[in-house]
């Protein structure tokens, strides 16, 4: 329960003038490496926890020892809850710890703290083999979500660039990419953060629905996308040791059918036969499509295109 542990670490720091990673590890009954990562996570999130080098160094909470959370500033509280919120969502047992932490806050901080905790969702699955995306606008997005401010963004979508004003509901980490879920005049929409060309927080506040649940919203969006992405199927025969590689490519749309004699039959899916063929083309003879005539036809067509483009004879002729 990392959320519970981070809260315990913060409370322990508040009662000590200085703490080493080893001392914290003993207090929390974890490894020294884990304790050090927790301290670094608190510091990176914006909590005023700083390392102090030297023979008698360690980690200290700026401002000295405290016995409760009332010494934290509003921005620091928001940073802490932004860090803990996704962890709690993934670990229901840590919910009570976050509830206790909320109760210890000054009443003026609680609304923003709760908004910060609900501002981010972590979805550990991946949509294909997406490459890591830029998160240049993530901090400003989170600040606007907590403050309930509308944002103006320039977005580069499939139909070109557009400018719009939206009401941000939250951000989602999906695999290695980030998505913004926001309300627009045309309804709720999802935006990839790395496709936001520019972003401006404007001085217009909006009321967030009291029953807004980002986790449920994202689950609905994700299910709709996954249904669209799995319209076509094929059964592929590969060496059993390569099944994990297929899973990395197709994500949740890759299911083991059977395994025998060192080979596996795997059901893979995508939105079109061409999409499946494109993923499999690089496998060459190592992936045999045993069911899926449309996918086989696309593989043949792709192969013929490659031969026409790269199979010209005489290349390099005359070079000594």
Helical (H) or strand (E) element with 37: helix 32-44
Sign of the C-alpha dihedral, residues 39, 41, 47, 48?
Answer: positive
Q: Would you state the pLDDT for residue 317?
A: 45
Q: Would you state the pLDDT for residue 228?
A: 67
Q: Would you state the pLDDT for residue 38?
A: 85
Q: Would you state the pLDDT for residue 67?
A: 38
pTM tops 0.85: no
Going by DSSP bridges, is the β-strand pair 120-123/160-174 parallel, antiparallel, or unpaired?
parallel
Which stretches in the chain have pLDDT values below 70? 1-4, 15, 45-46, 54-55, 62-136, 226-230, 312-320
| First vs last C-alpha separation in the chain | 66
Distance CA 229, CA 174 (A): 15
31 to 22, 24, 38, 45, 140: CA distances (angstroms): 8, 9, 11, 21, 34
Tokens of 275: 């999409």
Q: Would you state the pLDDT for residue 75?
A: 57
Please give the domain boundaries of the chain with CATH numbers for all domains.
2-82 (1.10.10.10), 123-227 (2.30.30.520), 231-309 (3.30.70)
**Block residue for tokens 């490496």:** 33
Distance CA 171, CA 188 (A): 13
114 to 60, 80, 206: CA distances (angstroms): 26, 11, 16
Q: Would you state the pLDDT for residue 318?
A: 43
142 to 87, 158, 201, 202: CA distances (angstroms): 16, 25, 11, 14
238 to 189, 266, 286, 287, 288: CA distances (angstroms): 39, 8, 6, 5, 7
Q: Would you state the pLDDT for residue 214?
A: 81
Q: Would you state the pLDDT for residue 3?
A: 60
Residue 18 CB neighbours (<10 A): 14
Q: E strands along 137-253, which residues?
A: 149-157, 160-174, 177-184, 187-192, 196-205, 232-239
Q: Would you state the pLDDT for residue 69?
A: 52
């Amino acid at each position: 329960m990392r959320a519970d542990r981070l809260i315990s670490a913060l409370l322990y720091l508040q009662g000590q003038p200085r703490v080493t990673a080893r001392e914290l590890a003993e207090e929390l009954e974890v490894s020294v490496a884990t304790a050090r990562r927790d301290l670094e996570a608190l510091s990176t999130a914006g909590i005023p926890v700083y390392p102090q080098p030297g023979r008698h160094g360690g980690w200290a909470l700026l401002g000295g020892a405290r016995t409760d959370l009332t010494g934290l500033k509003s921005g620091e509280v928001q940073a802490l809850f932004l860090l803990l919120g996704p962890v709690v969502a993934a670990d229901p047992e840590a919910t009570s710890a976050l509830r206790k932490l909320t109760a210890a806050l000054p009443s003026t901080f609680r609304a923003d703290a709760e908004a910060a905790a609900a501002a981010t969702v972590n979805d550990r699955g991946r949509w294909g083999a997406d490459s890591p995306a830029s998160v240049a606008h993530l901090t400003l997005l989170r600040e606007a979500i907590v403050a309930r401010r509308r944002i103006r963004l320039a977005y580069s979508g499939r139909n070109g660039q557009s400018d719009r004003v939206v009401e941000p509901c939250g951000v989602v980490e999906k695999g290695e990419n980030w998505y913004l879920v926001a309300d627009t005049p045309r309804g709720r929409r999802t935006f990839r953060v790395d496709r936001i060309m520019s972003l401006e927080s404007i001085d217009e506040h909006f009321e967030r629905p009291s029953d807004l649940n980002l986790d449920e919203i994202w689950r609905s969006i994700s299910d709709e996308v996954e249904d669209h992405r799995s319209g076509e199927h094929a059964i592929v025969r590969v060496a059993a040791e390569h099944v994990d590689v297929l899973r990395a490519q197709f994500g949740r749309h890759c299911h083991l059918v059977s395994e025998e004699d060192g080979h596996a039959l795997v059901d893979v899916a995508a939105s079109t036969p061409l999409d499946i063929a494109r993923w499999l083309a690089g496998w060459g003879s190592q992936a045999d499509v045993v069911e899926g005539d449309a996918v086989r036809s696309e593989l043949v067509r792709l192969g013929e295109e490659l031969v026409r483009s790269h199979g010209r004879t005489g290349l390099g002729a005359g070079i000594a």
